[in-house]
A = this chain, B = another copy of it.
Amino acid sequence: MKLSTAGESHGKCLVGIIEGLPSNLDIDIDEINYYLALRQSGYGRGGRQKIERDKVEILSGVRNLKTLASPLAFVIKNADYENWRGVMAPEGCDVSSKTLTKVRPGHADLTGMKKYAQSDARNILERASARETASRVVAGSIARQYLRALGVKISGYVKSVCGIEDNGNYTFFQIEKAKDSPLFMLDKEAESKAVKKIDSLKEAGDTAGGVIEIRINGLKSGFGSCMQYYSKLDAVLCGALMSVQAIKGVEVGLGFGCAYKEGSAVHDGIYPENGKYVRKTNNAGGIEGGMSNGEEIVLRAAMKPIPTLMKGLETIDYATGLPCTAAAERSDVCAVCAAEIVLESVAAFALADVVSKRLGGDNMQEVIKRYAGLED
């Protein structure tokens, strides 16, 4: 499976094409929209999220809610485009308004202007914007539906916000409830502290990041490969997570924690139980030798604070070369919930690709049958 995404933040729409889906997969459009809405939710979001109420429209690849195995194209309209047509239209517009030259640290602005020979960072930021991730939520939601047909589920929660941590150990079942909370946290006390932290950061014109944990449940062993470096499941999944805007670190299972313990405290013993081989711990996070080992897959990612601060950062004006305060294009204080949904989506899509390469298959009947034929 391949995903190509397109679309500027204030352009007409976001677009995506998914190639490589089998036929006869049932598509639940409401569920896609549910995840799109979740991506716009969470405590600490700014005004833009109220303007856009993202809804997917499928353009091709699906007939009567079943895939055709042809490329699935979709769009998410930018509701705000009507207000931006005059400065963004492909067919012709006034590029002299809405310019941005007070380049924002932490963004693509300055580097992008040099690389793409632009004098207006508008021509960079429109695409570099995290709004692009809405496309990836759509693709991820469809990947989720493909995986669920095989019994594989993906969920996650927010583990920390600006240093306020939830140190609980949760089952997949518990984690599936996290999205009912304002910050997708499970420890209510930590969450309430995090809400207050966001409030105070907002007042200060500052921003927050956090840590997000993603879990994949029900996947059989043997996905990915130990035979060539680029097909290792951990490399594929972590590479995908790192491609999400604002992510600065990723880890699997015990992750960085592995580096601080001796081997006997890290590696998960194997035990016979009712004719199967089980583990009592999951420090490996479900991946050994570059392959799923049948345990739950556990991934964590670190999100940096939103780099657009209302109080402004010190920077330069590219038009004059003089020092100034950075432009403030939007005003989220914290977007960990959005990131959580995007990370789930990105993991789902990357995994669906790995699964489809092992199973092959042209139609869902065949795919399901082949998955059933694999050893646990």
Contact = CB atoms under 8 A, between A and B. Distances in A.
Interface stretch (A119-127, A149-157, A176-184): A119-127
A103 B305 CA distance: 43
B272 A206 contact: no
Contacts of A362: 115-117, 222, 358
A229 B201 CA distance: 30
Interface in A223-243: 225-230, 232, 234-236, 238-240, 242-243
A261 interface: yes
Contacts of A302: 251, 255-259
Given A22-B116, A29-B91, A207-B264, 17 more contacts: A15-B15, A15-B59, A19-B228, A63-B88, A63-B90, A70-B126, A110-B221, A127-B227, A163-B260, A209-B263, A209-B266, A211-B256, A234-B243, A251-B256, A257-B302, A258-B305, A272-B321
Nearest to A281: B105
Interface residues of A, number: 158
A258 B248 contact: yes
B201 A262 contact: yes
19 contacts: A13-B59, A15-B17, A17-B17, A58-B91, A63-B126, A64-B93, A68-B116, A68-B127, A111-B293, A115-B375, A160-B260, A207-B263, A209-B261, A210-B259, A248-B254, A251-B302, A264-B313, A358-B361, A360-B370
A111 B365 contact: no
Interface in A96-148: 103, 105-112, 114-118, 123-124, 126-128, 132, 136
A337 interface: no
A120 B369 CA distance: 22
Given A263-B306, A291-B108, A93 B221 contact: no
A89 interface: yes
